[in-house]
Structure 1
Amino acid sequence: MQRFNWFPKTLFGRTLLFIALIVVSGAVALAGIARYYAGVASQRAYDQLLAGATIQVAEDLYVQGGVLALNLPVAALSTLSRYDLVYYKVVDSRGVVVAGYPDLPDPTSRLAARNGPQFADATYQGQPIRLGFLARYLPEEHTPGWAIVTVAQTTHARQQLTNEMSFKVWTLILLMSILAIGASGLAIRRGLRPLARIETIIAARDPADLRPVAAETPSEIAAIIGAINGLIGRLAERMTAMQRFIADAAHQMRTPLARLDAQIELLDDEHDPARLATGLDALRTTCADVGRVTGQLLNHAMVTHRTQAVALQPVDLVPLAKEALGRTIPLADDRDVTVAFATDAPHAYISGDPIGLQEALSNVLHNALLHGKADDIVVSIVTTDTAVTLTVTDNGPGIAPEHWEAALRPFERLGQENAAPRTGSGLGLAIVQEVVKAHGGNIRFALPAAGGFAVTLAFPSLPSR
């Protein structure tokens, strides 16, 4: 769809255009109303003159020898003939024209003319005229009855008066409209000054300066400043988290890389086959650690990004958990691992990100297999009207309760004081925690009475599909 190129692109232009359209629309309406009332006023003014002339003519009628006659009041008619042509006609009770223009139009209602002057519009000799009618009863005639007096005037003077009054009012409306639009423009510019000041403050800032914007502004703009400061605060938190993550990641990578370099140096000077084999095994373990740490760092970055950028969608946890279980079990290598899966419903829908949920569940299973050294794992799903809980239970030593909170923090390594030594990066459960929080859920640990360790992920449920 093509856009209108004439539409202003600035807030000032759009606001002023909107106000100008309203003012112009109002001015056009007022001009039309003014024209109408000017016509009404001129019509009433000239109708009064026409009525006076008609009454004067009627009063100057007289009967002589039983015949109706007229003593024409020239002064009364001359008032009407200053700008217009004036015509008159007198008809006696018999319907005979005794004076004036015989072809002048007759009144539409003779009865109404008996009550006072009546008016009508007509055309005479190709010109628009205004007619005044009045009836007078004359009993002195041979045939006593009502005589009808008609006085007509062309409408040039009325039109001229209407135009003069309209022009004066239109001039006033035009001046007021120009004044209103000009005043609106000045008011808008003054009202936009705080925004220009905020623009200057932000434009002059260093990208690393994430302090809140402080400026005296009207209450309407203060809401915008609050939103900007909220965004700056979130950016500051995100940048701080990123900087901390980068520093922690650098620290985590530096140690295995240094160990890898040292092991390579030792192997370079080693000639004993037994020690060389042992060194190669250590080198493989270190390489695996480096790969695992790198993978978890990338997974953490991926999960962090997806929680901010990917829209949630309906996800069925039942097939997703089965797929994650199938991908993770081969990590047990040569160990004989028993796996069980249980669910109380064929489907368990939540609003989520399938990739993030896969990563979270894989990390829980990875911890149970590699760090917990478990060989019996049960994945169960329980659904209610409001929640879906996924629990991974294993027969490993698990994590001591005093370390549960620390286990969810990034790069927190739990040492040998636990039942099982941990040599990972400390990111696995932190990734799980971040994914669960992004889905509006929570993570819980438990030590079942039958032994082992249980990790429960709880999510808000969606209605069954």
Structure 2
Amino acid sequence: MRRFDRFAGTLFGRTLLFIALVVATGAAALAIIARFYAGVAAERAYDQLLAGATIQVAENLYVQGGVLALSPPVAALSTLSRYDSVYYKVIDSRGMVVAGYPDLDSAANLAAAKQGPVFANGSYQNKPVRIATIARYMPEERTPGWASVTVAQTTNARQQLTNEMSFKVWTLILLMSALAIVASALAIRRGLRPLAQIESIIAARDPADLRPVAVETPSEMQAIIGAINGLIARLAERITAMQRFIADAAHQMRTPLARLDAQIELLDSETNPAQVAARLAALRKTSSDVGRLTGQLLNHAMVIHRNEVIPFQPVELVSLVKEVLGRSIPLAGERDVRVSFESGCKQIWLSADAISLQEAISNALHNALLHGKADTIDVSIAGHGDTLHVTVTDNGPGIAPENWDAALRPFSRLGETGQGTRAGSGLGLAIVDEVMKAHGGSVHFALPPSGGFSVVLVLPRPPGAGSE
């Protein structure tokens, strides 16, 4: 049973079993039809013999002394009696039995029998018989009229002929069905051969070999090859991105860690209290930079992971932005920062990943607070056709237009801005860009006419998205 289950669990087994079921059903139907037509053919053949014998009996009727008599046609009756018993009866125009078996009954209509042999099924001496009846006009009788001749034959020969014909046809059906199943099995094996070839090629590959699979296959399997190559291409792209990210992260972490180690060495050898305090302050700043960089690296990895595996859920955008504002403003420290929030709707619902979206908005605010050195931040939500714009505007120096593309690339340090403000690690706005792309949106920068710098998060607005 387990072996059959394993066989039925394969593509070859499932396909072959389905074909075998169809062939067996068709063969059974053909066998039933063949049996029916074999019976019809045997019936017709022996009805012809029975009709001929009945006509010959009728032709051998004669009148002698005004009385109907019969000269039995021995040859005709012997042909019928080779495999069966034959019975006959002759009735004259008066309704008297003049020859044969008086108890042989026939339900044939005399009017129909006048036109030719009339057939019927019956039983005689507890045996099934086929009965033929014909009428002949006998004017020489004392009472001129129609005489009827009835000939009955048992059905053994008919049944035997039906069985022989059915057996021959059934044998042919069985052979053809077996041939069809065997041919199907060979065809399926041959058709599945390219899959086995693909399997062996992929199984023999080195895990680091992410080249497209190149194999000659039928056109129907090109879709599978295309899907496999598409997956390999996406996997290669993802692995390349992760390798680049790991290399960049290692490079980015190496510098502050080396600086931290050097500052500890200098602090250990310092004796001047004023210099000790200065070096402790520098050490705290470097440690804070390392912590912030580590957090951004983890956040970036988290965003990438969530973009691939976390399904979107309904998210209320206005309350989410307010929550992020409440958590982010304390980062300004002792600076006096004025924050405003404006939304044309009390609620805006959209399908999104709330955690990734919070991270994106938080990084846009951090960019203004920590790197833009702004003391005024305006956050607004507005609808523009089929998109939603979450805009973070600050009065800081911003990023020069020629650096806007680079600002969205991971670890792209922009150096000193035109106003002397140093850019961050290069991960914050890259995280924002990753989240927006995952949500089908984008990130734009703008220089408002009133001054300052704007980061615009563009999100698609689902049709019929509820808003109040």
- Give the TM-score band, short-chain normalised: over 0.9
CA contact (8 A) 2:407 2:414 kept: yes
Change (3 A) 1:75 1:6: farther
Which letter maps to 1:101?
A: Y
Q: CA deviation at 1:422?
A: 2.5
- Measured against aligned partners, the alpha-carbon deviations of 1:241-275 in whole angstroms (never above 9, x if no partner) come to 11100000000100111111111111112222211
- Measured against aligned partners, the alpha-carbon deviations of 1:405-428 in whole angstroms (never above 9, x if no partner) come to 110000011111332522521100
C-alpha distance in 1 between matches for 2:175 and 2:29:
15
Q: Which residue of 1 aligns with 2:256?
A: 256
C-alpha distance in 2 between matches for 1:217 and 1:100:
80
CA contact (8 A) 1:345 1:383 kept: no
Question: Which structure 2 residue ranges, 5 or more long, are not aligned?
Answer: none
CA contact (8 A) 2:350 2:465 kept: no
C-alpha distance in 1 between matches for 2:465 and 2:219:
47
Q: Which residue of 2 aligns with 1:337?
A: 337
Q: CA deviation at 1:7?
A: 6.4
C-alpha distance in 2 between matches for 1:401 and 1:385:
26
Q: CA deviation at 1:144?
A: 2.1
Between stretches 328-337 and 270-279, larger displacement belongs to 270-279
Q: CA deviation at 1:378?
A: 1.2
CA contact (8 A) 1:307 1:435 kept: yes
C-alpha distance in 2 between matches for 1:6 and 1:446:
64
C-alpha distance in 1 between matches for 2:459 and 2:424:
27
Q: Which residue of 1 aligns with 2:217?
A: 217
Change (3 A) 1:286 1:411: same
CA contact (8 A) 1:389 1:459 kept: yes
Q: Which residue of 1 aligns with 2:358?
A: 358
C-alpha distance in 1 between matches for 2:138 and 2:383:
109
Please state if 1:424 is matched with 2:424.
Answer: yes
C-alpha distance in 1 between matches for 2:420 and 2:434:
24
CA contact (8 A) 1:372 1:420 kept: no
Q: Which residue of 2 aligns with 1:89?
A: 89
Q: CA deviation at 1:385?
A: 4.8
Q: CA deviation at 1:351?
A: 2.1
Between stretches 319-328 and 89-98, larger displacement belongs to 89-98
1:310-349 correspondence to structure 2 within 5 Å: 310-349=310-349
Q: What secondary structure is seen at the aligned counterpart in 2 of 1:140?
A: coil
CA contact (8 A) 1:119 1:133 kept: yes
Q: CA deviation at 1:384?
A: 4.5
Q: CA deviation at 1:240?
A: 0.7
Q: Which residue of 2 aligns with 1:373?
A: 373
Root-mean-square deviation over aligned CA pairs: 1.4
CA contact (8 A) 2:399 2:417 kept: no
Q: Which residue of 2 aligns with 1:163?
A: 163
1:294-313 correspondence to structure 2 within 5 Å: 294-313=294-313
Q: CA deviation at 1:188?
A: 1.4
Q: What secondary structure is seen at the aligned counterpart in 2 of 1:379?
A: strand
Q: Which residue of 1 aligns with 2:75?
A: 75
C-alpha distance in 2 between matches for 1:299 and 1:458:
21
CA contact (8 A) 2:400 2:417 kept: no
Q: Which residue of 1 aligns with 2:175?
A: 175
Q: What secondary structure is seen at the aligned counterpart in 1 of 2:459?
A: strand
C-alpha distance in 1 between matches for 2:194 and 2:313:
42
CA contact (8 A) 2:417 2:423 kept: no
1:19-168 correspondence to structure 2 within 5 Å: 19-168=19-168
- Measured against aligned partners, the alpha-carbon deviations of 1:34-86 in whole angstroms (never above 9, x if no partner) come to 11111111111100000001001111111222222111112111110000011
Q: Which residue of 2 aligns with 1:282?
A: 282
C-alpha distance in 2 between matches for 1:116 and 1:452:
115
Q: What secondary structure is seen at the aligned counterpart in 2 of 1:444?
A: strand
How high is the sequence identity, in percent, across the aligned residues? 72
Please state if 1:243 is matched with 2:249.
Answer: no
CA contact (8 A) 1:348 1:461 kept: no
Between stretches 320-329 and 142-151, larger displacement belongs to 142-151
Structure 1 length-normalised TM: 0.97
C-alpha distance in 1 between matches for 2:44 and 2:197:
59
CA contact (8 A) 1:121 1:131 kept: yes
CA contact (8 A) 1:414 1:421 kept: no
Q: CA deviation at 1:140?
A: 2.1
Q: Which residue of 1 aligns with 2:465?
A: 464
Between stretches 417-426 and 340-349, larger displacement belongs to 417-426
CA contact (8 A) 2:106 2:150 kept: yes
Between stretches 243-252 and 200-209, larger displacement belongs to 200-209
Q: What secondary structure is seen at the aligned counterpart in 1 of 2:106?
A: coil
Q: Which residue of 2 aligns with 1:399?
A: 399
Q: CA deviation at 1:189?
A: 1.3
C-alpha distance in 2 between matches for 1:96 and 1:359:
115
C-alpha distance in 1 between matches for 2:460 and 2:204:
45
Q: CA deviation at 1:223?
A: 2.0
Structure 2 length-normalised TM: 0.96
CA contact (8 A) 2:441 2:458 kept: yes
Q: What secondary structure is seen at the aligned counterpart in 2 of 1:290?
A: helix
Which letter maps to 2:449?
A: A
C-alpha distance in 2 between matches for 1:374 and 1:9:
66
Which letter maps to 2:237?
A: E
Between stretches 339-348 and 380-389, larger displacement belongs to 380-389
- Measured against aligned partners, the alpha-carbon deviations of 1:66-118 in whole angstroms (never above 9, x if no partner) come to 22211111211111000001111111222222211122122332211111011
1:416-455 correspondence to structure 2 within 5 Å: 416-455=416-455
- Measured against aligned partners, the alpha-carbon deviations of 1:132-185 in whole angstroms (never above 9, x if no partner) come to 010111122232221111100000000000111111111111111111111111
Q: Which residue of 2 aligns with 1:194?
A: 194
Q: What secondary structure is seen at the aligned counterpart in 2 of 1:95?
A: coil
Q: CA deviation at 1:229?
A: 1.1
- Measured against aligned partners, the alpha-carbon deviations of 1:256-305 in whole angstroms (never above 9, x if no partner) come to 11111111111112222211111111111111101100000000001111
Q: What secondary structure is seen at the aligned counterpart in 1 of 2:389?
A: strand
- Measured against aligned partners, the alpha-carbon deviations of 1:296-316 in whole angstroms (never above 9, x if no partner) come to 000000111111111122222
C-alpha distance in 2 between matches for 1:398 and 1:287:
26
Q: Which residue of 2 aligns with 1:410?
A: 410
C-alpha distance in 1 between matches for 2:310 and 2:389:
23
- Measured against aligned partners, the alpha-carbon deviations of 1:180-202 in whole angstroms (never above 9, x if no partner) come to 11111112112222111111111
Change (3 A) 1:135 1:7: farther
Question: Which structure 1 residue ranges, 5 or more long, are not aligned?
Answer: none
